Amino acid sequence: MAVGIFDSGLGGLTVLNAVQTRLPDVSFVYLGDNAHAPYGVRDADDVYALTKSAVERLWDTGCDLVILACNTASAAALRRMQEAGLPKGKRVLGVFVPLIEALTERNWGDNSPPREVSVKNVALFATPATVASRAFQRELAFRAIGVDVEAQACGGVVDAIEEGDEILAEALVRSHVEALTRKMPKPDAAILGCTHYPLMESTFQAALGGDVKVFSQANLVADSLADYLTRHPDMIGQGDENLFLTTGDPDAVSNKATQFLRRKITFTST
């Protein structure tokens, strides 16, 4: 039985790796829309259309539950898809929820009024499209008051990571951190709001300093998914093997994915 994991490119593999470690008895179908990556520079309507098409493809493989392991897709498409109505028995979840839960120390289903939380100044590092959507700030405002969020659009970082240019990626991260800290000199916490960014977590932490708590998504999403499937075991769909699908060149994507996870990954075309 399988759960779908979707990302615009390879960043969602950080989430896949964490959920496979956390849930070794669950099979996963990973779909990377590498032909159209990165999503972070696309407009909201384009991201919505591409995300909807990919999710439907995962439903067709038998995945009743699909995780959008892409912050841009979660920000621009998730609420819109849910409000438009999902087919009976199908669910789509995003990666913002576990972050918001961790930051506010309250469960998503807690509908009590917003309240003060321990973190007051939050640095958000994300793609341009995620920053423009203000989705993180909107969801946070439903649950917390008195939190100042300073967002930094990290142009170029995803492209550098996808190309395997670690030196450029590190330089861009340091530049973006410097730009944010000019606006917010002393953040209490930092959100790595893109599933590519865990690969650069040590660089973000070093640039921010040891006093800043860095929230990365992969393990938070894995724990949240484990809890969800405990409460909704019927959402584990059909299929009993792990599959890797891509809209791009399967050989090129397989090589990059193998470098990402440091284990052999073989993609096929979708």
CATH of domain 2-95+218-269: 3.40.50.1860
Are 2-95+218-269 and 98-215 equal in CATH topology? yes
pLDDT score of 119: 92
The model's pTM = 0.89
pLDDT score of 168: 97
Active-site residues, by number, are: 70, 194
Structure tokens belonging to residue 147:
């939190």
Per-residue pLDDT of the chain in tens (270 residues, 90 and over written 9): 589 999 999 999 999 999 999 999 899 999 999 999 889 889 999 999 999 999 999 999 989 999 999 999 999 999 999 999 999 999 999 998 898 888 888 887 788 888 999 999 999 999 999 999 999 998 898 889 999 999 999 999 999 988 889 999 999 999 999 999 999 999 999 999 999 999 999 999 999 999 999 998 899 999 999 999 999 988 886 667 899 999 999 999 999 999 888 899 999 999
Rounding to the nearest 10 degrees, give the CA dihedral for residues 114, 65, 32, 221: 40
| Alpha helices per DSSP H over the chain | 13-22, 44-60, 71-73, 79-84, 96-104, 128-133, 135-141, 157-162, 166-183, 201-208, 218-231, 250-261
CATH number of this structure's domain 98-215, picked from the four choices 3.40.50.1860, 3.30.450.20, 1.10.420.10, 3.30.10.20: 3.40.50.1860
pLDDT score of 193: 92
**In the chain, where the domains are located:** 2-95+218-269, 98-215
